Structure 1
Amino acid sequence: MKTSNLVLTLICVISLTCTHAKTGYFWHITDFHYDPLYTSQGDTRRHCRRADERGSSGHHRALGRFGDYSCDSSLELIESAARYMRTRHSENVEFVLWTGDIIAARYTGNEDDKYQAIRNMTDLLSRTFSSHFVFPVLGHLDPAPSESLTNLWMHWLPLEALQTFKYGGYYTIEQKQSKLRIVALNTNLFSVRESNSVQARRQWEWLDAVLDKATGNKEMVYIVGHAAPGSDSRHPYDMSSDANAKYLRTVRRHAKIIAGQFFGHLHADTFRVIYDNDRPVSWTFMAPSVSPHRDPADSSNPGLRLYKFDTNTGKVLDYTQYYLDLAAANRNVAEWTAEYNLTQYYGLHEVSAVSLHNLADKLQIGTPHETNIFHKYLRAYRVRHESSESCDGACAHQHFCAITCLEHVAYRQCVEAAASALAAAGDSAPLTMPLLNTVVIFFAFVIIMMN
């Protein structure tokens, strides 16, 4: 009788625990780079805009209506992404993270034109997620915080968030029905130009206060922003050295309550691991852009990401990465497709700093198994864009450096060590174009910073 009562009690406890835990989803979309002037009759030499008939030689290739790797996004590309997102887990989507660079890099319109472009994208997302909150952050191409932007997004943000967003571009969202808090940063204030400004100092003070309060309230936190800490061959340094170091110290200090960090900006699919005394304590995911991307080494297709998480604790359980084969779409119709599922693709038992640290170790090409894992990573990094450029062991090491060495000095030493190893090998493993580009860009940037 006692045994049966114990079993019954255990069943009740397990049942209550399972019903209390709730699985939800959230989208992460980033880097629309919407260009209202894109046209399929455009010229890639003029950013896919209509050429001046008098000044055009007439020799340029045809463009697709869904965009081109050489240019920013067409409206039809972004509308196709919105239509697809509406079909996926719409009943269980809790919110949407929208991490900046809304308008095109080379959009030359005046301020009114830029706000109109942002308004058009806001209206599109409002229709797409009519019953969900979208949490936007500012990218480096977006306008500075203002009353105009505040009014544009006030239907998504509570009063407390609007007050800090209006003046600083940052805010926090307290989830009333769970212990998950969203902290949206203005990473533009971490740049070399802005890092010593009054607003930058206020954001640091605000961030410390918010994280201290979350610790006291036993809340878990998502940190959301445009540009992540660390370095990469596509963007050597987005944060000033001081801001980068301070951000990493902040994350280490509050690692126990940080359930995830989500950024965009790179137009690539990658991740970062943050260490404290060589122990992995936190992680960062960078989602690929909706905009297509062309780079001398690593171009990429448009991407969308859907996260699966525990809505009570904020623990990220998995994500599914979706992509659009842009070349195929322009030949026929836009068919967004599931590219991969994180845990299945890499064979992860969970999403954690330790599991991602172990994955990073496997990206250093050595055994055939490690080589296979790296090639899978590189395929994801490029969002299934086929590249004619190879990526050898030194190139793989550069990716490893970017993932595991987020301090600027540590990253530089890591990349230099790879170059030294090549030299010591007597050029038996010549520099591939990706690594050569990385080394040239990196040292050019160092020279500029020193001057």
Structure 2
Amino acid sequence: MGKKEVRGDKPVSGMSRRDFMKCSAGTVACLYLGALNTGCGSSAADDFPVVVFSDVHFNPLYDGTLFQALIAADASQWDEVFKTSGITSPSAWGKDSNYPLLELALESIKADLGASPFVIFTGDILGHGLPQIFYYHLNGTTTPRDAADTAAMQAFTDKAVAFFMDKVRKAVGKLPVFFALGNGDSYTGYGPDSTFLSNMAELYYTALLNGMGEHQEFLKTFTSGGYYSVEPPGTNLVVIGMNTIIFSPLVAPVPGANDAAVAAQLDWLDSRLAAATVAGKKVWLLMHAPPGADLGTTAQPAHVDANGHISSATMMWVAGYQTRFLKILDNYPAVVSLTLAGHTHMDEYRILPSSGTVEITPAIAPYFGNNPAFKVFTISGRTLKPVDYSSFNYDLAAVPLSFSRYYTFSAAYSLTGNLDASLARLTPALVTNTADQALYRGYYYSGHNTPVSVSDTFVNTITGTNWPIYWSGIGNMDEDELVASVNAY
């Protein structure tokens, strides 16, 4: 399959965006993914694009002089407040997204929607430590003085989330936005927490999902654990949004504290995959933090000896939670056709023991030294599996007018067809083929490949010494297996 063009009015399938929206009447009811409705006049084998973005980490307090104006204004008035700021350039490396970068990103996503029937966001609306930043501007410390401070922080956070969602809705029109919750989506700074879930559930349902799916069932699972599923009308698809932040040892450092909540979510996941299998449906699995290792932390110089060897790895999930999750996927080898994650901020992927692939979308926020970026996947209308993607980046060194196409997978690596199979073929080539390895290392930071200082990035650049960590992390989800692979490279 050749390179697919997604910018402009002509989508991959050849049907104009205007015709598609007329056909769908504001929904995707006319698009039967896996067997396109003949009323749309399209072939069952047509491919279609899906825009995926992640880790925006919007910090509304990037300009502290706006603090009082933002508190006084309704979320619908924040645009006008931000336009008074003297800061007009997008965020630099090492920073969360400011208003200028948010505007640029959403304008570019809008320009590259093509015939995308929906949009996917894999989490982290809010900037790192936003509650603590708010308290600092409010009372000079990073903690609340009393209940009134806490209430003020929550009200501000609610407005920030509402503002973000309204901006996304204006960019994507009526398209539903399927999502996963990120660690920044909380009232604590690393969550999500139960109060945030309860307060935000209705907004996520109406503003992002655009009212798609069974309302009460969504509220039930979202408020109890931050996860949900939805079946787009007229399709052969189930979209499952997981809350994998609760799987992290950072959320509950006391062993076993989250066991019951994780078990409930995994029981639910098992039941949803079983139901999809019986119904003959395909599943798209969305999560924020992927399984496997935190490669950037594991590869920090203090953890790596002169030979590139390591004695341990920093893992994304508690080991027992990951083991059960992977076992559940093994029980349904054909049902999950696409798995997406974010959180690392980098352009990477993970191959699971079930042979499924976790595609990790790079971040909009340049917080870890990456250039802002997002992806447009090409999905097979016959299998609902990805067959290609293009990455769009914003080179902060060049300060262009907009995001632009950075690379297309099939063209860069000369691999076509099923993307999972292509990535499985690419993985060993990253060891033996120096050109492919150079490309992968170059794309990892979305084009900003030489971060040089702690102010530039919080993650070290990829070198010949630590490269085995980044490669081994692709296919080794278990800590012991990862360490062994790195040390035997």
- TM-score normalised by the chain length of structure 1: 0.76
What do residues 174-197 of structure 1 show as CA deviations (whole Å, max 9, x unaligned)? 133221211110002212245634
Is the 8 Å Cα contact of residues 179 and 312 (structure 1) preserved in structure 2? Answer: no
Q: 1:147 and 2:214 equivalent?
A: no
In 2: Cα distance, 1:127 partner to 1:354 partner: 36
Provide the residue aligned with 1:228 in structure 2. 290
**1:162, CA displacement in angstroms?**
2.9
Provide the residue aligned with 2:238 in structure 1. 181
Provide the residue aligned with 1:283 in structure 2. 357
- Aligned equivalent of 1:274, options 352, 365, 381: 352
In 1: Cα distance, 2:109 partner to 2:65 partner: 28
In 1: Cα distance, 2:111 partner to 2:462 partner: 36
Provide the residue aligned with 2:398 in structure 1. 328
AA matched with 1:213: A
CA, structure 1 residues 312+357, in 2 after alignment: closer, same or farther (shift >3 Å)? closer
- Indicate the percent of aligned positions where both proteins have the same amino acid: 23
**1:214, CA displacement in angstroms?**
0.7
Provide the residue aligned with 1:96 in structure 2. 119
Matches within 5 A, 1:56-75: 65-75=89-99
**1:254, CA displacement in angstroms?**
1.5
AA matched with 1:406: M
In 1: Cα distance, 2:327 partner to 2:464 partner: 31
- Aligned equivalent of 1:31, options 38, 43, 55: 55
- Aligned equivalent of 2:265, options 177, 195, 203: 203
In 2: Cα distance, 1:320 partner to 1:387 partner: 22
Higher relative contact order (Cα pairs below 8 Å, separated by 6+ residues) = 2
Q: 1:216 and 2:278 equivalent?
A: yes
In 2: Cα distance, 1:387 partner to 1:314 partner: 37
In 1: Cα distance, 2:64 partner to 2:92 partner: 9
In 2: Cα distance, 1:39 partner to 1:79 partner: 16
What do residues 378-412 of structure 1 show as CA deviations (whole Å, max 9, x unaligned)? 11101011416774544332221100111222112
AA matched with 1:284: V
CA, structure 1 residues 118+376, in 2 after alignment: closer, same or farther (shift >3 Å)? same
Is the 8 Å Cα contact of residues 307 and 318 (structure 1) preserved in structure 2? Answer: yes
Provide the residue aligned with 2:16 in structure 1. none
Provide the residue aligned with 1:171 in structure 2. 228
In 1: Cα distance, 2:419 partner to 2:58 partner: 34
- Aligned equivalent of 1:105, options 121, 124, 128: 128
In 1: Cα distance, 2:122 partner to 2:165 partner: 13
In 1: Cα distance, 2:54 partner to 2:396 partner: 17
Is the 8 Å Cα contact of residues 288 and 383 (structure 1) preserved in structure 2? Answer: yes
Q: Which moved more, 1:208-217 or 1:311-320?
A: 311-320
- Aligned equivalent of 2:375, options 302, 305, 308: 305
- Aligned equivalent of 1:376, options 439, 442, 450: 439
In structure 1, the residue corresponding to 2:388 is in which secondary structure? strand
In 1: Cα distance, 2:408 partner to 2:467 partner: 22
In 1: Cα distance, 2:373 partner to 2:64 partner: 21
In structure 1, the residue corresponding to 2:296 is in which secondary structure? coil
Q: Which moved more, 1:180-189 or 1:192-201?
A: 192-201
Is the 8 Å Cα contact of residues 228 and 242 (structure 2) preserved in structure 1? Answer: yes
In 1: Cα distance, 2:167 partner to 2:403 partner: 18
Provide the residue aligned with 2:103 in structure 1. 79
In structure 2, the residue corresponding to 1:86 is in which secondary structure? helix
Is the 8 Å Cα contact of residues 294 and 316 (structure 2) preserved in structure 1? Answer: no
Question: How many residues are matched?
Answer: 368
What do residues 335-392 of structure 1 show as CA deviations (whole Å, max 9, x unaligned)? 211011111111112234332122010111x4xxx11111100111010114167745
Is the 8 Å Cα contact of residues 54 and 361 (structure 2) preserved in structure 1? Answer: yes
Q: 1:407 and 2:478 equivalent?
A: yes
In 1: Cα distance, 2:330 partner to 2:474 partner: 16
**1:218, CA displacement in angstroms?**
1.1
Is the 8 Å Cα contact of residues 161 and 172 (structure 1) preserved in structure 2? Answer: yes
Larger Rg: 1
AA matched with 2:386: V
CA, structure 1 residues 211+72, in 2 after alignment: closer, same or farther (shift >3 Å)? same
In 2: Cα distance, 1:148 partner to 1:106 partner: 19
**1:301, CA displacement in angstroms?**
0.1
Provide the residue aligned with 2:178 in structure 1. 135
In 1: Cα distance, 2:451 partner to 2:94 partner: 16
AA matched with 2:266: W
Is the 8 Å Cα contact of residues 270 and 285 (structure 1) preserved in structure 2? Answer: yes
Provide the residue aligned with 2:366 in structure 1. 292
In 2: Cα distance, 1:30 partner to 1:349 partner: 25
Is the 8 Å Cα contact of residues 305 and 320 (structure 1) preserved in structure 2? Answer: yes
Q: Which moved more, 1:398-407 or 1:344-353?
A: 344-353
Provide the residue aligned with 2:468 in structure 1. 397
Provide the residue aligned with 2:190 in structure 1. none
**1:40, CA displacement in angstroms?**
10
Is the 8 Å Cα contact of residues 40 and 65 (structure 1) preserved in structure 2? Answer: no
Provide the residue aligned with 1:342 in structure 2. 409
- TM-score normalised by the chain length of structure 2: 0.71
Is the 8 Å Cα contact of residues 41 and 63 (structure 1) preserved in structure 2? Answer: no
CA, structure 1 residues 311+335, in 2 after alignment: closer, same or farther (shift >3 Å)? same
Is the 8 Å Cα contact of residues 40 and 64 (structure 1) preserved in structure 2? Answer: no
In 1: Cα distance, 2:65 partner to 2:409 partner: 38
Provide the residue aligned with 2:218 in structure 1. 161
**1:64, CA displacement in angstroms?**
6.6
Provide the residue aligned with 2:320 in structure 1. 242
- Aligned equivalent of 2:159, options 83, 103, 116: 116
In structure 1, the residue corresponding to 2:356 is in which secondary structure? strand
